[in-house]
């Protein structure tokens, strides 16, 4: 890519970050989704003040992490396989995609090995697409009710993550975000009343984050809206 074209792209990244962060209410954080984008683009976003970056694949995150500043907060936002946890456990700040007690237990096991406590979000599935991972609200209530998770000393459940159906029907999207928010409130009251760290609601992506913010999101995950189309 010619130098001039690189510079233009970099300016766009910093401009987009500025525009998005200025549009977010106080208390709502931006996770820049950097999957399939090169280290140079992440570095430009970092230079624009961005510190939270989300990746969907453990291997890609583990390759990028050593090449970038140590104060970056790496968030794992994609579906996570148990056998990949060990490759990121020494540095990952938050895992958004916990969709089973078994996975939470394995994260706890690997975190104990490196003497860390890792922040986790419970992933809810309320969208219409069958391809989305996550607990149903009923499954998540059952898991929390069973109380086995309370024995895990090296993970900290900090909230809930969810996605809305990929549709142009804004009312459907809004209703699904409200359902996730309602679950968050119920869980906070019933299971985490004495846990001040249970405060994160990770909802909203490039196309629907303004609606997610309306519905109480504290973290929005934006990729294309910052970096442009993915570079496969």
Which residue segment(s) compose the domain that 90 sits in?
3-225
> Is the residue at 51 inside a domain?
yes
In this predicted structure, the answer to whether residue 3 has a pLDDT above a threshold of 90 is no
Q: Where are the alpha helices (DSSP H) in the chain?
A: 3-23, 39-47, 58-64, 101-113, 137-146, 170-191, 209-214, 224-227
Encoding tokens for residue 186? Answer: 């119920």
Residue 183 lies in a domain: yes
In this predicted structure, what is the pLDDT of residue 128? 80
Residue 97 within any structural domain of the chain: yes
232 in a domain, yes or no? Answer: no
> Is residue 79 assigned to a domain?
yes
Residue 120 covered by a domain: yes
Does residue 230 surpass a pLDDT of 80? Answer: no
The rounded percent of the chain whose pLDDT value lies above 90 is 89
pLDDT tens column, 159-209: 999 999 999 999 999 999 999 999 999 999 999 999 999 999 999 999 999
- With 0-12 / 13-18 / 19 or more C-beta atoms within 10 angstroms meaning exposed / middle / buried, residue 9 is middle
Rounded CA gap, 221 and 150, in Å? 28
| Global pTM value | 0.93
Mean pLDDT value of segment 89-115: 98
The pLDDT value given to residue 228: 86
Indicate the number of domains in the chain.
Answer: 1
Residue 82 lies in a domain: yes
Residue 67: CATH number of its domain = 3.20.20.10
In a domain, 230, yes or no: no
């Amino acid at each position: 890519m010619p130098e001039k074209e690189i510079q233009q792209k970099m300016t766009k990244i910093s401009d987009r970050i500025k525009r998005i962060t200025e549009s977010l209410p106080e208390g709502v954080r931006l996770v820049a989704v950097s999957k399939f984008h090169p280290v140079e683009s992440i570095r430009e976003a970092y230079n624009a003040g961005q510190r939270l970056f989300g990746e969907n694949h453990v291997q890609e995150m583990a390759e990028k992490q050593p090449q970038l500043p140590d104060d970056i907060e790496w968030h794992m936002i994609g579906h996570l396989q148990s056998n990949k946890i060990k490759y990121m456990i020494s540095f990952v700040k938050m895992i958004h995609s916990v969709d089973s007690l078994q996975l939470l237990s394995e994260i706890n096991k690997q975190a104990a090995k490196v003497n860390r406590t890792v922040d986790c979000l419970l992933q809810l599935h309320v969208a219409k697409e069958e391809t989305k991972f996550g607990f149903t609200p009923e499954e998540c209530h059952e898991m929390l009710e069973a109380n086995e998770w309370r024995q895990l000393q090296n993970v900290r459940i900090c909230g809930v993550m969810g996605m809305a159906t990929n549709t142009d029907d804004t009312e459907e999207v809004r209703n699904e975000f409200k359902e996730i928010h309602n679950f968050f409130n119920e869980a906070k009251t019933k299971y985490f009343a004495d846990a001040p760290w249970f405060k994160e609601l990770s909802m909203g992506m490039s196309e629907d984050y303004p609606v997610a913010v309306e519905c109480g999101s504290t973290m929005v995950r934006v990729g294309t809206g910052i970096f442009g189309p993915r570079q496969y």
